[in-house]
Amino acid sequence: MDATVLRTLLNQVLSLTIEHIVLVAVSCGSAVVIGVAVGIASTRHAGMRRISVAVASVLQTIPSLALFGFLLPIPLIGGIGRHTAILCLILYSLLPILRNTIVGIAGVERPVREAAIAMGMTDRQLLRMVELPLAAPTILAGIRIALVTNIGTAVIAAIIGAGGLGVLIFRGVASVNTLEIMAGAIPAAVLALIADAGMSLLERRMARP
């Protein structure tokens, strides 16, 4: 193989990696905002909790490939391209974040919550000063799961034309080109490892008493 082919491939890996990171960052960021917000609301209303957890659980059980497929024919939100992929990745990341937000807040010890209310905290103050700080390690653990899974799932986004490292893998598989498969798979794995390590570092920071 000559140098120019290699250089082209390398450039491609670089730009697709960036595309991949953007896909993951946008979808995960949105999932965090939605998941934490709905999670908080779910600790305030039992009805909301039942519905949100049920919906997120069902979404999670749909194989990711099928979820991409389902969204394709839906007008406005569906269709080929990046926005459909991002929507799918958001839906797919919601459950761990939502669930961990609920579990984390529910895990605040009763006397602690009782004391905070008895001292005269409003519901907002209770949330901001007590529940969220104490739930933070648990919520971060949920985000970590969502993020790492998301990096893998985003590979499939290439199938509906959203770009990312999946492009190389699918092309490699189609043309039985191991080098191309590796060129897509290795950066994806490295991204996942970096994300995992970074998040666990952050988690330990937060959990430190």
Partner 1 sequence: MEGRRILEDLSFGVERGETLVLLGQSGSGKTTALRLINRTLDATSGRICIDGRDIRQLDPIELRRSIGYVIQDFGLLPHWTVEENVSLVPRLLGWEMDKRRRRARELLNQVGLDYQEVHQRRPYRLSGGQKQRVAVARALAAEPGLLLFDEPFGALDPVTRHEMQQQFLILRKQYNVASVFVTHDLLEALALATRIAVLDRGKLEAQVTPGEFITLRTPVARSFLDTLPSGLLDRCAD
The reply to whether 133 sits near partner 1 by the rule CB under 8 A is yes
The reply to whether 116 sits near partner 1 by the rule CB under 8 A is yes
Separation of alpha carbons 92 and 150, rounded Å? 8
Contact assessment for residue 143 and residue 30, using Cβ atoms and an 8 Å cutoff: no
CB of 137 to partner 1, least distance (A): 11
**For partner 1, which residue of 6, 51, 80, 129 counts as binding (CB under 8 A)?**
129
Torsion 143-86-35-153 (CA) sign: negative
CA dihedral 17, 19, 21, 27 (to 10 degrees): -150
CB of 111 to partner 1, least distance (A): 4
CB of 119 to partner 1, least distance (A): 5
Q: Specify the residue, 61 or 110, whose C-beta has the smaller distance to partner 1.
A: 110
The reply to whether 115 sits near partner 1 by the rule CB under 8 A is yes
The reply to whether 106 sits near partner 1 by the rule CB under 8 A is no
Q: Candidates 40-48, 89-97, 120-128, 197-205 — which segment interacts with partner 1 by CB under 8 A?
A: 120-128
The reply to whether 118 sits near partner 1 by the rule CB under 8 A is yes
User: Taking phi first (over 0 means left), then psi (-120 to 50 degrees means alpha), and beta for anything else, what does residue 78 get?
Assistant: beta
Alpha helices in the chain (DSSP H): 3-44, 46-61, 64-71, 82-106, 110-118, 123-125, 132-153, 166-174, 178-207
Return residues touching partner 1 (CB under 8 A).
109-122, 125, 129-130, 133-134, 209
